[in-house]
Amino acid sequence: MSSSRRDRVVLATVVFAVLFSQLLLYPGVSTLVEALGADAGGGSSPFATTELDASMWFLVAEFAAYVVFVGVWGAASDMTGRRTPFIVTGALAGAVGYLALAAAPMLGSIPFEGVLLLRVLQGAMTIGAFSLTMTMLMDLEGGHGKNMGAAGIAIGLGAALGAPIGGQLTTVDPLAPLVAAGILLVCVGGLVTLVPDRAPTGRRAARDLLDGIRQRPTLSIPYAFGFIDRLTAGFFALVGTLYFQDAFGVGPAQTGLLLACFFAPFALLQYPMGALSDRIGRTIPIVAGSLCYGVGILSVNVAPTVALAALAMVLVGVLGALVSPATMALVTDLAADGERGVAMGGFNLAGSLGFLGGFLIGGTVADTYGYDLAFLVVGGLEIAIAIVTVPVFLRLSVDGHKHVREDEA
């Protein structure tokens, strides 16, 4: 195995571990927030007026921290020409955050607002490990689609396995996913040191980095697609979880399996789909894939049985695998070598805002108007961005495709 290929596997494993630890919490989030002091309907906190409300704010707190800090981590890495020390710091501090949350119920009557603050601190650290590991994959040779396909398969597998295993852990103890997540991030801090730091050497001023990004407005196209794609993921993580439980009467363990129906094909097809986008360009995977992906989301809501809902989730997973690595590879196509940390930070910022939108828009619409309209809004947004950006994206995709060919030549 070549050095680049070995390092690609190690870095993908790190990405997997971070996402796996995150998804452990999702299937049992309503049970978890209750264990952490969210007294739904009891008036103890304005952030916990209902079970859905408390769950939404617990997830939102982490992604709000992602939004604020992801650019800080990327800029710090590009300015110093280092990745590894920041990843180790973020992983170990994130582990402390998870374990502090797990210990919170044993420390007495911590208000739910205090729990949310711990969640913010944990998220601020974890996003550094996640985003900069993806940036290290950008630094590798061998084709942008392949490198981002490796990141995508790690993200998908982490989510696919994290959801069902998290559901099983929740049945043992609601706090068990937090402990497991903390242990995993400690392992991440050690594993990433096995890979050489290939960040472009030399220090750069923050103003130079920002000027470089501003001179590449075309980055807004993959950022926009990343925002909508992550919005759908956030929607399924919160609203989809509660929808399956309400519509079909399933528990956390079965909900985790339904989520895995999406994440398994989403994960397993990432690498071949990323390699495909290296060969045929980014237009078809992103634009056509997003259009079909939106239709697939709508099909989940109309499925009358658990079996058909699971089949629809598989279809959505396949289409998501077509879109995701091509979108991330396009960021790499467009970013200058010395600006990759900021460029990937911007993409993850857009993605984190998307997750927040999925939680807030999906949760608010579902709570106020019902699940049907919530699915229609989210699926419709995915279809709309594919249609609206076709003229611009056709032109952009040709340039990105040529850029990949030049790198591989």
Q: What is the spatial distance between Cα 198 and Cα 147, in angstroms, rounded to a whole number?
A: 14
Asked if 338 and 79 count as a contact pair (C-beta separation under 8 A), the reply is no
Fill in the amino acid letter for 87. I
The CATH superfamily label for domain 3-408 reads MFS general substrate transporter like domains (1.20.1250.20)
Q: How confident is the model at residue 20 (pLDDT cuts 50, 70, 90)?
A: very high
- Give the span between the Cα atoms of 247 and 267, in whole angstroms: 26
Q: Of 141-145, 173-177, 256-260, where does mean pLDDT reach its minimum? A: 141-145
pLDDT of residue 9 exceeding 70, the answer is yes
Q: Average pLDDT for residues 69-90, to the nearest whole number?
A: 89
Q: What pLDDT shows up at residue 43?
A: 54
pLDDT number for residue 170: 92
| pTM over 0.85, yes/no | no
pLDDT tens-digit series, residues 280-296: 888 888 888 999 999 99
What the block records as the tokens of 349 is 């910022």
pLDDT of residue 329: 84
Residue 376: the pLDDT is 94
Helix 220-235 crosses helix 390-408 at what angle (to 10 degrees)?
110
H or E segment at 255? helix 252-268
Q: Cβ–Cβ contacts within 10 Å for residue 176, how many?
A: 18
More confident residue, 315 or 330: 315
Mean pLDDT of 120-148: 87
Rank 11-25, 130-144, 393-407 by mean pLDDT and report only the highest.
Answer: 11-25
**What's the whole-number mean pLDDT along residues 211-217?**
63
C-alpha 148/C-alpha 272 separation (Å) is 11
| Percent of the residues in the chain that have a pLDDT greater than 90, as a whole number | 31
Q: Residue 402's pLDDT is what? A: 42
Percent of residues in the chain assigned helix, strand, coil, to nearest 5:
85, 0, 15
- 114-128, 153-167, 254-268, 391-405: segment of lowest average pLDDT: 391-405
CA distance 190 to 241: 33
C-alpha closest to that of 83 among 140, 158, 121, 123: 140
Task: Show me where the domains of the chain are located.
Answer: 3-408
pLDDT at 153 exceeding the cut of 70: yes
